């Protein structure tokens, strides 16, 4: 599978002249890998490369979703990238290598592989954020992302080295065994603190969230779309592999850290998002609060919690993909939309996109018929089941606070008059993709069973 991606990456490199061709090749690569992932899924879990590469149910479910989301992301961003004259060949190559990095992260079973996959992903993301050189804000965002990202990688590495020093192994299962034999190891817990900080940075959770709004706002919208969707699932895999597979016995130690992270994320994300006038910044802060919810599920320390937050991560990626997809479509005429008020009267300009955005906003706010409600519900259920009722109450209160700014977007779209009457148009495949995406959010809310079943199977 890896070889397949690498080979296609190389093909991709040499076919830079035909921009359409590159796009089609990338999509074929993603679809091909998707079928390959389905094809080679073993029954239980299997390891390869001397135990440093693992394929289990969780990895195949997450990989499939990462690939599906990436296909959608490339579909939405195709015209934007062409129009802005961003170096197209490199864009797709970097996007594909980012996907490769995510897949490595998802199915790694040693700290070394996990770190390398993470670096592959981050490096692609830094470069993609900087691709639009003509824009000063874009360069600034990329620089911030790079410096802070390098710092976080350093923290993560420091934690890894401490854990390695304490347990004498890089393989997660052996670390777990060593920790079970001697769980009082303060050096390992010390390393754990650094690892949690690194993970929180990669997630964009609250005390480590400074980069999120700037990067979301400054990077080209297509890159924001990419950053906001699939890497969240990869970050979830990062957390699960480290905290559950490796340091599951130190659950008492990391639960407290995650409680603080989740709480701060939900509170800060929702409160600051209210004050935003830029739509991308608003979505960035809303991402922070959703990350808080994903962490809520992880911190419960039980299989139900993990599967709940996996469900949350997957559906959040789908939701955020649809949100930025609509923004991308509206960006078309060469001008990016920045302000929330630019969405004014979208319903009259194109009812389909307005309805997709409506579903997205309602789902993010967590209103019943949509998938966002079910995702929040299962996560909170897991939190309550481990007795952290106060945490669940705070989360609910602040998601109600958050509903305000989502509803404001809906008000702008449906009840305000448009500034320009010109209808928003997009190629038929993009429209179809967005419509399917929006419908999926609704359908998954009504029938969440099959994804949820896959998520539960991943942790049983």
Angstrom distance (rounded) from CA 68 to CA 233: 12
- The Cβ of residue 285 has, within 10 Å, a number of other Cβ atoms equal to 26
List, in order, residues 6 or more apart from 85 with CB less than 8 Å away: none
- Quick one: which of 38, 49, 390, 447 contacts another protein (CB under 8 A)? 49
Q: How far is the CB of 16 from another protein (least distance, A)?
A: 10
Total residues contacting another protein (rule CB under 8 A)? Answer: 37
Which string of b and e fits 158-185 if b means at least 16 CB within 10 Å?
bbbebbbebbebbbbebbbebbeeeeeb
Q: Quick one: which segment of 61-69, 183-191, 263-271, 406-414 binds another protein (CB under 8 A)? A: 183-191
- The Cβ of residue 31 has, within 10 Å, a number of other Cβ atoms equal to 13
Report residue 209 as tokens.
């969230």
Residue (249 or 431) nearer to another protein, CB = 249
Q: How far is the CB of 399 from another protein (least distance, A)?
A: 35
Residue (36 or 190) nearer to another protein, CB = 190
The helix (run of H) or strand (run of E) holding residue 54 is strand 53-55
Q: How far is the CB of 256 from another protein (least distance, A)?
A: 15
Widest CA span in the chain: 69
Binding track, positions 151-180, relative to another protein; x by CB under 8 A: --------------xx--------------
Q: Does 256 bind another protein (CB under 8 A)?
A: no
- Quick one: which of 55, 104, 163, 227 contacts another protein (CB under 8 A)? 104
Q: How far is the CB of 18 from another protein (least distance, A)?
A: 17
Binding track, positions 1-30, relative to another protein; x by CB under 8 A: -x---x--x---x-----------------
Residue (114 or 313) nearer to another protein, CB = 114
The helix (run of H) or strand (run of E) holding residue 48 is strand 46-48
Q: Does 120 bind another protein (CB under 8 A)?
A: yes
| Class of residue 10 by CB neighbours under 10 A (exposed 0-12, middle 13-18, buried 19+) | exposed
Q: Tell which positions 355-374 bind another protein, by CB under 8 A.
A: none
- Quick one: which of 185, 228, 265, 286 contacts another protein (CB under 8 A)? 185
Q: Does 50 bind another protein (CB under 8 A)?
A: yes
Q: How far is the CB of 111 from another protein (least distance, A)?
A: 10
| Class of residue 335 by CB neighbours under 10 A (exposed 0-12, middle 13-18, buried 19+) | exposed
Angstrom distance (rounded) from CA 381 to CA 400: 17
Residue (12 or 342) nearer to another protein, CB = 12
- Quick one: which of 20, 133, 137, 411 contacts another protein (CB under 8 A)? 133
Per the DSSP assignment, residues forming a β-bridge with 54 are: 47
Q: Tell which positions 51-80 bind another protein, by CB under 8 A.
A: 52-53
Binding track, positions 81-100, relative to another protein; x by CB under 8 A: ------x--x--xx--x--x
Angstrom distance (rounded) from CA 299 to CA 252: 10
CA-CA-CA-CA torsion sign (126, 129, 130, 136): negative
Q: Does 186 bind another protein (CB under 8 A)?
A: yes
- Quick one: which of 4, 112, 180, 389 contacts another protein (CB under 8 A)? 112
SS3 300: coil
Q: Does 131 bind another protein (CB under 8 A)?
A: yes
Q: How far is the CB of 56 from another protein (least distance, A)?
A: 17
Cα angle, residue 373 at apex, residues 368 and 377 outer, rounded to 5°:
120
Closest CA to 448 of 315, 355, 306: 315
Please give the residue ranges that form the binding site for another protein (CB under 8 A): 2, 6, 9, 13, 48-50, 52-53, 87, 90, 93-94, 97, 100, 104, 110, 112-113, 116-117, 119-120, 123-124, 126-127, 130-131, 133, 165-166, 185-187, 189-190
């Amino acid at each position: 599978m890896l070889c397949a991606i690498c080979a296609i990456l190389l093909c991709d490199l040499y076919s830079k002249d035909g921009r359409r061709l590159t796009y089609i090749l990338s999509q074929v690569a993603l679809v091909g890998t998707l079928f390959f992932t389905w094809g080679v899924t073993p029954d239980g879990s299997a390891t390869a490369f001397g135990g440093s590469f693992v394929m289990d149910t969780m990895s195949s479910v997450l990989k499939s979703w990462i690939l599906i989301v990436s296909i959608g992301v490339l579909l939405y961003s195709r015209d934007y990238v062409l129009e802005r004259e961003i170096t197209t060949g490199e864009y797709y190559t970097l996007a594909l290598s980012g996907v490769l990095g995510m897949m490595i992260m998802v199915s790694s079973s040693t700290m070394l592989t996990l770190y390398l996959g993470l670096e592959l992903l981050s490096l692609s993301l830094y470069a993609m954020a900087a691709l639009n050189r003509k824009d000063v804000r874009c360069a600034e965002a990329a620089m911030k992302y790079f410096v802070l990202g390098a710092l976080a990688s350093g923290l993560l590495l420091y934690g890894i080295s401490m854990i390695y020093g304490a347990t004498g192994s890089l393989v997660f299962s052996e670390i777990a065994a060593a920790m079970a034999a001697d769980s009082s190891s303060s050096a390992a817990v010390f390393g754990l603190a650094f690892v949690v900080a690194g993970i929180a940075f990669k997630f964009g959770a609250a005390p480590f969230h400074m980069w999120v709004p700037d990067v979301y706002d400054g990077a080209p919208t297509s890159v924001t779309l990419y950053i906001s969707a699939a890497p969240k699932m990869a970050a979830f895999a990062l957390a699960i592999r480290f905290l559950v597979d490796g340091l599951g016995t130190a659950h008492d130690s990391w639960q407290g850290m995650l409680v603080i992270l989740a709480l701060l994320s939900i509170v800060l994300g929702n409160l600051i998002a209210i004050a935003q006038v830029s739509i991308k910044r608003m979505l960035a802060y809303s991402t922070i609060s959703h990350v808080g919810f994903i962490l809520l599920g992880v911190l419960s320390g039980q299989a139900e919690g993990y599967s709940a937050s996996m469900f949350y991560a997957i559906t959040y990626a789908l939701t955020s993909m649809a949100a930025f997809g609509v923004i991308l479509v509206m960006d078309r005429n060469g001008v990016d939309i920045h302000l929330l008020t630019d969405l004014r009267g979208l319903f009259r300009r194109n009812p389909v996109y307005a309805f997709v955005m409506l579903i997205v906003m309602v789902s993010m706010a967590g209103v019943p018929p949509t998938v966002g409600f079910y995702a929040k519900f299962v996560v909170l259920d897991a939190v309550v089941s481990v007795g952290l009722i106060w945490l669940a109450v705070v989360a609910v209160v602040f998601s109600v606070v958050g509903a305000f700014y989502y509803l404001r977007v809906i008000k702008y779209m449906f009840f305000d008059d448009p500034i320009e009457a010109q209808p928003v148009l997009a190629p038929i495949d993009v429209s179809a993709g967005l419509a399917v995406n929006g419908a999926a959010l609704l359908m998954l809310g009504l029938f969440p069973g099959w994804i949820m079943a896959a998520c539960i199977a991943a942790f049983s």
